[in-house]
Amino acid sequence: MKELVFATNNKNKVAEVEVKLHGAFNIKTLAELGCHDDIPETADSLEGNALQKARFVYERYHCNCFADDTGLEVEALNGAPGVYTARYAGESKDPDANMNKLLTALTNESNRKARFRTIIALIIDGQETLFEGRVDGTIRTEKCGQKGFGYDPIFQPDGYDKTFAELPLEVKNHIGHRGKAVEKLIAYLNNK
């Protein structure tokens, strides 16, 4: 079984990825690698942040790895929160505070179109490859649902009448931004 380090300790992200991998790869987290550093995310793009995290792991631990960065891009807010999605309401990265700030910013806004984008940066033997997954939708006016994480309770994907937080994980994985990026990653790995 091939081994890859996923440059995260977010258990929700790992669960989403492992479902897609069907046991084809052994995924190790940063903690399993012994990395407890707070990896910087100082780039001005999702691509830059994903590469920054993957390079950090590859250069320090000399292992094949991948990292992701995800942004929620709201049309009426000129793409914000974008690269600042996780810390939109501050460095504490509080999901409720982030959602509340976004809902407040959209209070009198009729255009609630948004999209989630995930960029995965893969480094194998020094070669870097990027993969993108995206899902379009709208921002609800209030939180709905208990599943998921982050902005899932206020993001309703196009073609559905429920938020990501109301949909089963299998459905979210099938239609979601991270799932789409992971599918591209897996297709690439299977052809190597």
pLDDT at 62: 93
Tens of pLDDT, residue by residue over 140-149, are: 999 999 887 8
Taking the CA atoms of residue 11, residue 88, residue 170 and residue 12 in that order, the dihedral angle to the nearest 10 degrees is 0
Place of tokens 């995206």: 134
Q: Is 137 exposed, middle or buried (0-12, 13-18, 19+ CB in 10 A)?
A: buried
The length of the chain is 192
Q: From CA 62, how far away is CA 124, in angstroms rounded? A: 10
Top-confidence residue, 24 or 70: 70
Please tell me the predicted confidence (pLDDT) of residue 167.
94
Helix (H, G, I), strand (E, B) or coil at 151: coil
State residue 13's pLDDT score: 79
Mean pLDDT score of the chain: 91
Q: Rounded to two decimals, what is the model's pTM?
A: 0.88
Active site residue 125: no
Contacts (Cβ under 8 Å, ≥6 apart) of 56: 7, 37, 39, 40
The DSSP bridge partners found for residue 136 are: 115
For 45-104, the pLDDT digits (tens) are 999 999 999 999 999 999 999 999 999 999 999 999 999 999 999 988 899 999 999 999
Catalytic residue among 37, 38, 68, 69: 69
Q: At what angle do helices 11-21 and 177-190 cross, to 10 degrees?
A: 50
Tell me what pLDDT residue 81 has.
97
Tokens at residue 163, please? Answer: 């938020």
